């Protein structure tokens, strides 16, 4: 576990440190597309965040290869090299799309080529565990087609959900955490060494998302772009393929007593990961399916962009940007970790009751778009200004957000507010109140992203 934690920290640190220089490079290179009708932000924001994430991926794999225990996997398995090769291709395609734009069909072809490269280097589905039957072996052609389909679906599911600040990176981080718990249990719980690559992939993916997330939270200073969203989608798919189609059924049989029992004990997470990564990224996949059905029904191309995604609908019913992101986080965590808990003890009634109760809580939150949570006074010093009590604010809350002083620009208003906050802080008043009423809502409304 210590080696995994070190790999996680190195990946996150490298990604975090690289994101700042990458942002400056993106601005200098002009990778700041004009605002589109479906976009939520209001000002051009640099992309190419995937460059930093790819640097974190390479650093994480390099550090892991030098570990005493994890390093042996690089000698016994070709899966890390297969992942790196496929990731490099998909990342390069994403960089070209972020800078110049790439046709949707060309991107689809590039995704299939990247998946084919991973299959060619050994990262493919060899068999499928079926309840009541056992493991069903696949022909090379069947395994290749299923692998490519899973990679393409996962990449586009993550790409489709990347519509709000911090949404895709946070949801993928949650999915990777749930997937790590499952893969780690397979390796150390059942002694299945073939699950080691998937465990490593999940750790590296968590590091990439965690390192990029501070720069991408609302208001985002940089977007990951297709170079980042397609990259993390491919890594997530690679982990699912590795632990599903590469685990030897004989090892599961030795751990559980019989092959059928082995399949039965792991099927709550196993089968959804094979067919669709539903148990881990159910929300992005649902968004993908709904988008394809909606666009096809309206006579549009499935690749045509619109404002009908789940996060857009949350904004339309009245939820704020941050609240919509947190709601998506909640449902992703609920489904992903519930699937892992069910795989550990599928006979426990407490798992079902907890799932039902948390689902009711999630539905209740969806019906309260205007509800603003308040934090106790003792905790207000450590939370963002927008969650602090109005009673502690030094300025009236009725002033229109984002307009600044009369006759001045929004930027001048924000600067003046910041100066007033500084004066208040010097007088011993609560400076956060002065900034919380104006600067944060102004940036949220005007879409200022650095």
> Per-residue pLDDT tens for 402-412?
443 333 443 44
Inter-residue contact 293 to 284 (CB < 8 Å): no
**Per-residue pLDDT, 209:** 94
Strand-strand pairing, 127-130 and 134-137: antiparallel
Inter-residue contact 113 to 237 (CB < 8 Å): no
> Per-residue pLDDT tens for 113-129?
999 999 999 898 887 76
> Per-residue pLDDT tens for 209-231?
999 999 988 788 899 989 999 99
Share of the chain above pLDDT 70, in %: 64
Integer angstrom CA distances of residue 58 from 63, 124, 172, 207, 228: 9, 21, 18, 11, 14
For residues 174-187, average pLDDT? 85
Among 122-136, 210-224, 299-313, 332-346, top mean pLDDT goes to 210-224
Q: Is 215 exposed, middle or buried (0-12, 13-18, 19+ CB in 10 A)?
A: buried
For residues 120-141, average pLDDT? 80
Strand pairing partners for 135? 129
- pLDDT category at 385 given cuts 50, 70, 90 is low
Q: How far apart, in Å, do the first and last CA atoms of the chain sit?
A: 38
- pLDDT category at 424 given cuts 50, 70, 90 is very low
Instruction: Give me the phi and psi of 12, to 5 degrees please.
Output: -65, -40
- Round to whole Å and give the CA distance between 243 and 195: 5
**Per-residue pLDDT, 282:** 65
Which three-class secondary structure state does DSSP give residue 289?
helix
Which of these ranges, 266-275, 290-299, 324-333, 369-378, has the smallest mean pLDDT?
Answer: 266-275
Name the nearest CA neighbour of 118 among 97, 94, 146, 138.
Answer: 146
Inter-residue contact 438 to 398 (CB < 8 Å): no
Which of these ranges, 4-18, 240-254, 274-288, 310-324, has the smallest mean pLDDT?
Answer: 274-288
- Round to whole Å and give the CA distance between 121 and 288: 29
**Per-residue pLDDT, 386:** 58
Q: Does the pLDDT value for residue 146 go beyond 70?
A: yes
- pLDDT category at 61 given cuts 50, 70, 90 is very high
- pTM, full prediction: 0.72
- Round to whole Å and give the CA distance between 58 and 138: 32
Share of the chain above pLDDT 90, in %: 27
Q: Does the pLDDT value for residue 344 go beyond 90?
A: no
For residues 61-73, average pLDDT? 90
Instruction: Give me the phi and psi of 394, to 5 degrees please.
Output: -90, -5
Among 36-45, 220-229, 247-256, 399-408, top mean pLDDT goes to 220-229
**Per-residue pLDDT, 106:** 93
Between these two residues, 130 and 325, which has the higher pLDDT value? 325
**Per-residue pLDDT, 81:** 93
> Per-residue pLDDT tens for 387-398?
566 554 444 444
């Amino acid at each position: 576990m210590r080696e995994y934690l070190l790999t996680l920290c190195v990946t996150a640190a490298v990604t975090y440190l690289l994101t700042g220089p990458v942002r400056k490079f993106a601005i200098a290179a002009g990778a700041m597309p004009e605002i589109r009708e479906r976009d939520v932000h209001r000002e051009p924001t640099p992309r190419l965040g995937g460059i930093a994430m790819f640097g974190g991926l390479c650093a994480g794999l390099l550090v892991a290869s030098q570990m005493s225990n994890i390093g042996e996997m690089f000698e016994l398995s070709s899966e890390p090299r297969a992942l790196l090769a496929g990731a490099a291709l998909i990342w390069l395609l994403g960089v070209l799309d972020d800078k110049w734009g790439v046709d949707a069909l060309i991107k689809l072809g590039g995704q299939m080529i990247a998946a084919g490269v991973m299959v060619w280097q050994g990262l493919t589905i060899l068999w499928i565990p079926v309840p009541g039957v056992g493991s069903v072996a696949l022909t090379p052609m069947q395994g290749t087609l299923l692998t490519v389909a899973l990679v393409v679906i996962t990449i586009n599911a993550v790409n489709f959900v990347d519509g709000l600040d911090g949404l895709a990176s946070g949801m993928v981080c949650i999915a990777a955490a749930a997937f790590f718990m499952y893969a780690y249990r397979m390796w150390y719980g059942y002694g299945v060494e073939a699950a080691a690559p998937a465990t490593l992939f999940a750790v590296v993916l968590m590091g990439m998302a965690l390192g990029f997330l501070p720069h991408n939270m609302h208001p985002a200073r940089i977007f990951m772009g297709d170079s980042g969203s397609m990259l993390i989608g491919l890594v997530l798919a690679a982990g699912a393929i590795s632990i599903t189609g590469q685990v030897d059924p004989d090892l599961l049989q030795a751990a559980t007593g019989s092959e059928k029992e082995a399949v039965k004990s792991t099927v709550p997470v196993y089968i959804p990961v094979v067919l669709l990564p539903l148990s881990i990224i159910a929300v992005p996949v649902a968004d993908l399916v709904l988008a394809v059905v909606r666009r096809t029904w309206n006579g549009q191309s499935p690749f045509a962009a619109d404002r009908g995604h789940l996060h857009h609908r949350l904004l339309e019913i009245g939820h704020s940007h941050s609240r919509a992101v947190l709601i998506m986080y909640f449902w992703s965590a609920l489904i992903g970790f519930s699937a892992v808990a069910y795989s550990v003890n599928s006979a426990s009634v407490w798992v079902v009751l907890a799932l039902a109760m948390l689902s009711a809580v999630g539905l209740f939150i969806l019906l309260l778009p205007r509800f603003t949570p308040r934090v106790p006074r003792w905790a207000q010093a450590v939370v963002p200004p927008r969650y602090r009590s109005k009673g502690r604010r030094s300025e009236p809350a009725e002033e229109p957000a984002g307009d600044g002083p009369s006759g001045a620009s929004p930027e001048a208003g924000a600067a003046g507010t910041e100066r007033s906050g500084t004066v208040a802080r010097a007088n011993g008043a609560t400076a956060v109140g002065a900034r919380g009423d104006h600067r944060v809502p102004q940036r949220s409304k005007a879409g200022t992203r650095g």
